[in-house]
A and B are shown apart, each in its own frame.
Chain A
Amino acid sequence: MLKRIITLAGTLGLCLSLATPAQAGPKEDLARFQHFYLKRFPGVPLKEFANGVYAIDKVSRENWEAIEEFPPYEPYVEEGKEMWNTPFKDGKGYKDCFPDGPAIKADYPRWDAASKRVLTLELAINECRQAHGEKPLKYKKGPIAILTAYIAWESRGKPTHVVIPDDPDARAAYERGKRFWLARRGQLNFSCATCHAQNAGKHIRADILSPALGHTTHFPVYRSKWGELGTLHRRFTGCNKQVRAKPFKPQSEQYRDLEYFLTYMSNGIPLNGPGARK
């Protein structure tokens, strides 16, 4: 009798475990995400996705390689170095806030348990400035992009390694970012995934939609369209406008959470910023 009960309980347990899929966490999401792109673009190694659309389109790549011979972001890197080394009014400098700097890009975005929020590099820079009596920088372009271009340059080659700690608040921020990426928005009813996953590699007018894998590795970026450097959140703003959704403010919680999710999805891919794009 006991044997029958145990067998029945075991069968029931097995049935239940099959009926209820295991709760997918960030690790499962990461595997699913990267597998999707590796399958969609066979023959493109994971690390190559750092080059965006140039990893998947030969003609675009040739043009890009020609541009990279005289990189349009190079003067900004030099300017950013000067910014990094210029002391604040109180005599301190960025090195006092970031002792491991300037090659600190791979440390961001990260979960800041003390303030219970996603801390991005740009936010950390402005908090450092304000702590030393300096005005915060604007988040989309200009000095913040120039300074982070130097930091990105010094961080080149380091792998993306965002950590989602075992903390319900951090997990909630990650989930919010994931939902943002997956949710359709705006009058065109597109999600980030619609363009950069479902239709990645396909044409949108004369342009090819880039894969989302590796999207975060090369920022800040010099876009020919902009004629200058811009931050990742500037690009988020532009994407949201293109689908006719009202964009959020750069460094808003929405965009920081999105950056957290999207950067985590590129874990393992080396940083190669600043980049040059169309």
Chain B
Amino acid sequence: MKTLSLFRAAGLALVLTGLANGPALAGDSAQAQYEDMYQQAKAAQKRAASVEGEWRDIGKFLKKAQALAKKGDYEAAFKLARKAYIQGKLGYTQALSQQKVDWPSYFK
């Protein structure tokens, strides 16, 4: 039982770490890192939308990120794009978890 709980905790930690750090960054310049993150965030947004799970602010974050990148503030732009990426992943997971939803217990 204890081993099982440990495995679960380790799994959860891995998931949380993955979400907090986002995907591995490519390229060595701040611009390349931002552009890579932006592309990954766009893909995550598209994936969430494909299951009707897109969250409200993803588009807004990406738009703001693009504006910041235009001004050369790649660090701030990267942070926003990563936020959009995480929300895209979560929206997708949420929508999948709700596909077979039925009447909740308080209705029964």
Which residues of A pack against B, CB within 8 Å?
A: 24, 29, 32-33, 36, 179, 182-187, 189, 191, 193, 197-198, 240-241, 244-248, 254
Are B104 and A193 touching (Cβ within 8 A)? yes
- B101 and A183 contact, CB distance less than 8 A: yes
**B residues near A, CB below 8 A?**
49, 52-59, 87, 90, 94-95, 97-99, 101-104, 106-108
Contact indicator B56/A189 (Cβ below 8 Å): no
Contact, CB under 8 Å: B107 / A36: yes
* A-B pairs, 6 with minimum CB distance: A183-B98, A246-B54, A244-B56, A182-B101, A183-B101, A187-B55
Inter-chain contact A246/B49, CB cutoff 8 Å: yes
Q: In whole Å, how far is A146's beta carbon from the nearest beta carbon of chain B?
A: 29
A33 contacts B56, CB within 8 Å? no
Q: Which residue of A lies closest to B48 (CB)?
A: A246
Contacts of B90 in A (CB 8 A): 187
Partner of B95, one of A182, A185, A247: A185
Q: A183-B101, A198-B104 are in contact. List 11 more A-B contacts (CB 8 A).
A: A32-B108, A179-B98, A183-B99, A184-B101, A185-B95, A187-B57, A189-B94, A191-B98, A198-B106, A245-B55, A246-B58
Q: Which chain A residues lie closer than 8 Å to B107 at the CB level?
A: 32-33, 36, 193, 197
Cross-chain contact B103 with A32 (CB below 8 angstroms): yes
CA distance A36 to B106 in the complex (A): 8
Q: How far is the CB of B66 from chain A (nearest CB, A)?
A: 18
Q: Closest residue to B58 on the A side, CB-wise?
A: A246
With A183-B101, A185-B53: A246-B59 Cβ-Cβ less than 8 Å: yes
Q: Point out the residue from B56, B59, B97, B108 that lies within 8 Å of A245, measured CB to CB.
A: B56
Q: Give the CA-CA distance A94 to B56 in the complex, in Å.
A: 37
19 contacts between A and B (CB under 8 A): A33-B107, A179-B98, A182-B98, A182-B103, A183-B101, A185-B95, A186-B56, A187-B56, A187-B87, A189-B94, A191-B98, A191-B101, A197-B104, A197-B106, A197-B107, A241-B56, A245-B55, A246-B58, A248-B52
